[in-house]
């Protein structure tokens, strides 16, 4: 804890996903895949969430795997920022 009594490290949600669009300035769209089990039938279903994230240096390219962390609202849709590029996209 710091001197003002608050915790130094806050717990924020984080995701790893793939960049699907980088056409905006300092913003990327990241596709996060997850698996959920159907509540009645038990079948495992694939679900996809598309999140807008802040990319300050505009480093991300389409196909990169990136790590996101939750942050304060930066715009109407943007509540995440890119912390790390986990894996660069392969050259085509």
Per-residue pLDDT of 19-52, as tens digits, reads 999 999 999 999 999 999 999 999 999 999 999 9
Domain 14-87 maps to which CATH number in 3.40.50.720, 3.50.50.60, 2.40.50.140, 3.60.20.10? 2.40.50.140
Cα(86)–Cα(34) distance, rounded to whole angstroms?
Answer: 18
More confident residue, 90 or 46: 46
pTM of the model: 0.82
pLDDT at 7: 56
Task: From 78, 47, 61, select the one nearest 18 (Cα to Cα).
Answer: 61
Other Cβ atoms less than 10 A from the Cβ of 78: the count is 18
């Amino acid at each position: 804890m710091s001197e003002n009594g608050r915790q130094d490290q806050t717990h924020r949600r984080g995701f790893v996903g793939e960049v699907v669009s980088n056409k905006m300035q300092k913003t990327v769209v990241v596709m996060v895949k997850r698996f959920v089990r159907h509540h009645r039938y038990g079948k495992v279903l694939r679900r996809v969430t598309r999140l807008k994230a802040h990319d300050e240096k505009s480093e991300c390219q389409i196909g990169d795997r990136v790590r996101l962390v939750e942050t304060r609202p930066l715009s109407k849709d943007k509540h995440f920022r890119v912390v790390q590029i986990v894996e660069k996209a392969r050259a085509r």
